[in-house]
């Protein structure tokens, strides 16, 4: 298993930021290659995504631990093998720091080559940057 880790600061309160991320069915709004997330049970979700221009993958994840405004931990139960941890903390009132750890297993030669080039790290960076923009846009709309 491999690990890609990144962090980001979001200019929004901790509870607001955490709530946006735990609206799992809305993940396709900011995870650019995830096309669908569907709730199967309280802590289990089916996802579908475009891994490349020609490849679509899908799977199921289970939320193993959810501590409000603090932590989300999941693992795959079907499909590509991965798990992850998102940690949230608030250094001050209107800022949230997020740490993201993705534990994954590249499948096949193309994914192994992408891993060698650091594409998984780039992907988690893009996901958090897109999430930050998503939250900032929502915050701006709520003020307007």
Tell me the whole-structure pTM to 2 decimals: 0.90
Closest CA to 87 of 144, 8, 4, 11: 8
The size of the chain, in residues, is: 144
DSSP state of 25: G
Cross-sheet strand order for the sheet of 56-67:
2-10, 95-104, 82-92, 71-78, 56-67, 44-50, 34-41
Closest CA to 21 of 68, 77, 59: 68
Q: Can you list the domains of the chain with their CATH numbers?
A: 2-143 (3.30.530.20)
Q: What is the pLDDT of residues 76-94, one digit of tens each?
A: 999 999 999 999 999 888 9
Q: How confident is the model at residue 97 (pLDDT cuts 50, 70, 90)?
A: very high
Lowest mean pLDDT among 97-101, 119-123, 138-142: 138-142
In this prediction, residue 141 carries a pLDDT of 67
3-state secondary structure of 44: strand
Mean pLDDT of the chain: 91
């Amino acid at each position: 298993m491999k690990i890609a880790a990144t962090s980001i600061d979001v200019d929004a309160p901790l509870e607001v930021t955490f709530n946006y991320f735990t609206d799992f069915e809305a993940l396709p709004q900011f995870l650019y290659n995830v096309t669908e997330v569907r709730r199967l049970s309280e802590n289990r979700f089916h996802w579908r995504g475009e891994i490349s221009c020609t490849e679509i993958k899908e799977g199921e994840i289970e939320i193993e631990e959810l501590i409000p405004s603090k932590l989300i931990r999941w693992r795959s139960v079907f499909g590509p093998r991965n798990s992850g941890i998102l940690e949230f903390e608030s250094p001050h009132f209107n800022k949230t720091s997020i740490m993201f750890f993705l534990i994954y297993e590249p499948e096949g030669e193309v994914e192994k080559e992408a891993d060698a080039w650091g594409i998984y790290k780039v992907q988690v960076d893009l996901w958090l940057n897109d999430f930050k923009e998503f939250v900032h846009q929502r915050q701006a709309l709520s003020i307007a």
